Amino acid sequence: MTPNLSTFRIALGLLAHPASLAAMAVMLLNDLVLRRLVPSWWTGKLSDVAYLFFMPFVTAALLAWLVPGQGDRHERRVRRLAFAAVALAFTLGKLHPAINNSAADFIQSLLGLPVQITADPTDLLTLPVLGLAWLLWVRRPDLPRFSFPQPARWVLLPLAAFLTLANSAAPSAGITDLVAEGDRIFASGYFTTWSSADGGLTWQEGPKTSYSPFTNGEGDGAEKVLAIPDTEIRYRYDDRVIERSEDGGASWQADYEPAAFHEAERAYLEKTTSVNESYSPTPIDAVYDPASGNVIFSMGHRGVLVRLASGEWQWAAVGPHRHMALEQSGLAGYFTLLQGELVLAVAAALLVFSTLAWLLLEKKWHRTAKLIVGWLLFVAVAAVVPPAVTNQAYSNLIVNFGLLAAAIWTVLSAVLDAVSLSRLGRPSLGRTALFSLWALPAYLLPYLLWAARVLPYYYLAALLAAVILAVVLVLGRSRVAVSSER
C-alpha cells in the first residue's frame, strides 16, 4: 500500500462515516424540501453547516494523490491542507466578489448550466463546523466500528461534489430598503445597491462590495406610514393596499392596490436568476423624493412602484427586479418556464401511444415491464421534481436527468411498439398514433393556464393535467376496443 493510497482511504472512510452521510442527507433534504416549503435564513445556513462538515474529507481525498510525502506525516499534511483550503475558499467566496464570480464561472463551464454563488458574509457563522469535522478525523481509530463496502465508497465522491452545487446564500427578498440622500434615491437588496436621479423611474447599479441595509425610519413597525415633509399628506401601506391621507392621518382613502405576486411569476424569476428568493409582503419600504415630488415604494422582486407628483402610478425596474417579468419576456419567457412540462407533454403522448399499443398487442412480460418503467419515470419527474417549480442548482440537474431518462425511454418504447403495431396493419398504427397526439396539447393546457395566471397554483395545474391524461387514456381504451372488434 502506498502512502498516498493510505491517506486516500482514510479520507474516503471519513466520508463514509455515518456523521458525514447524515450531513449529506441533511443537505439533500434541506435543498429539495425545506427550502421550498419553509424558505428562511435558517434553511440557508443549514446547507452550509452540512457542506462544511463533509467537504474537508472530499478535498483530502483529492489532495492525497497530489501532495508528496509518506506515512503519518503525509496524512497530517493532507489533513491540514484540506481543512485550510476549504476554510479559505469558503471565506473568500463569501467575501470577495472576483473570487466568487470566478468560482461560479468555473462550475458553470464544467456543468454547462447557469450557476451563481452569491456572496453572503453571514454564511461565515457556520465555519466552526469545521472543528467538528477535524475532531472526527483525529479520532479516526473509531472508524472500524462502521462498516461500509470499500467499492461503494467511491460513489460518495461524485455524490458529495454533486451536493455542493446547492450551496447558496441567505434568501433575497429583492428591493427592500429605500433612502433619499441629496439629489438621489438609493435602493438596496441582497448585497447590491442602486441609485436613481429621476425620482425612481430609472436606476443605476452601485458597488457590490459592501452592503448596509437602509432604514429611513418610516417603514418600520406594525403600521407603515410615510409622512411627506411640510404637508399633511401621509401614505399608509401594507400587503393589501396603499392608502393616502391629506389631513395628517385623520382619514384615509385607498390610493392603489397592488396585484398579488403570482406563483408563475415567482417560478420564472427563480429560473432566470441565481439567488435564493424569498417573498416578503409588499410594499416593504417607502421614501419621498423632494426633487421630483415622487413617492417610491419598494416592491421586492417586482422592483419599485412610483407615485408621480401628478398622481399617476408607474412601475419601474431596478436591476433584475421588475413588474410582470414573465409577461414582459413574451413567448421566450413562457418557453423558459414550461420547457420541462413540454418535454413531459411529449412523453405523456408517447406513453399514451405505448399504453394503447399494449392493449392491442400480446401481453408479454417485457412489454408490460417496459410500460410500467416508463410511467414510473414520468410520474417521478412530474410529481417529485416538477420542472417549472424546481430551481435549486443540483435539483435542476436531477430534473434534467429525469427528463432525459423519461424522454429516451418513452421514445424507444414508442418506436418498438410502433414496429409491433405495424405488423397488425397500418390502420391500427395510424389510429393509435393520431389519437395519442391529442394527449400532448391536452396535458400541457393546464400548465399554460397556470403560466397565464388563470390557475393560481402549479399543483392544481398538475392535478388537472393528470386528470386530463386519465380521461385521454379511458377514451383511448374505448377507441382501441372498438378498433379491435372491427
Domain limits, the chain:
3-166, 177-325, 329-485
CB 163 within 8 A of CB 22: no
pLDDT in tens, the chain (486 residues): 444 567 888 888 888 888 888 888 888 787 766 766 666 667 777 888 888 888 898 888 888 888 887 778 888 889 999 999 888 877 876 665 555 555 555 544 444 444 455 556 667 788 889 989 998 888 765 554 455 555 555 566 666 666 665 444 445 778 888 998 888 899 987 667 899 999 999 999 875 434 444 444 344 445 789 999 999 999 999 877 899 999 999 999 999 988 877 889 888 888 877 555 667 778 889 999 999 999 999 998 889 999 999 999 999 999 888 888 888 888 999 999 999 999 999 999 999 999 999 988 888 889 999 999 999 999 999 998 899 988 765 567 778 888 999 999 999 999 999 998 888 766 678 888 888 999 999 999 999 999 999 999 999 999 999 999 999 999 988 776 555 544
For residue 421, what are the contacts with CB-CB under 8 A and spacing of at least 6?
357, 360, 361, 428, 429, 432
Q: Alpha-carbon distance 434 to 111, whole Å? A: 38
C-alpha cell at 349: 403522448
3-state secondary structure of 226: strand
3-state secondary structure of 457: coil
Residue type, 275: V
Torsion of CA 256, 257, 263, 264, to 10 degrees: -50
The whole-angstrom distance between residue 277's C-alpha and the CA centroid of its chain comes to 8
Q: Alpha-carbon distance 167 to 120, whole Å? A: 11
Q: Alpha-carbon distance 209 to 476, whole Å? A: 61
pTM beyond 0.75: no
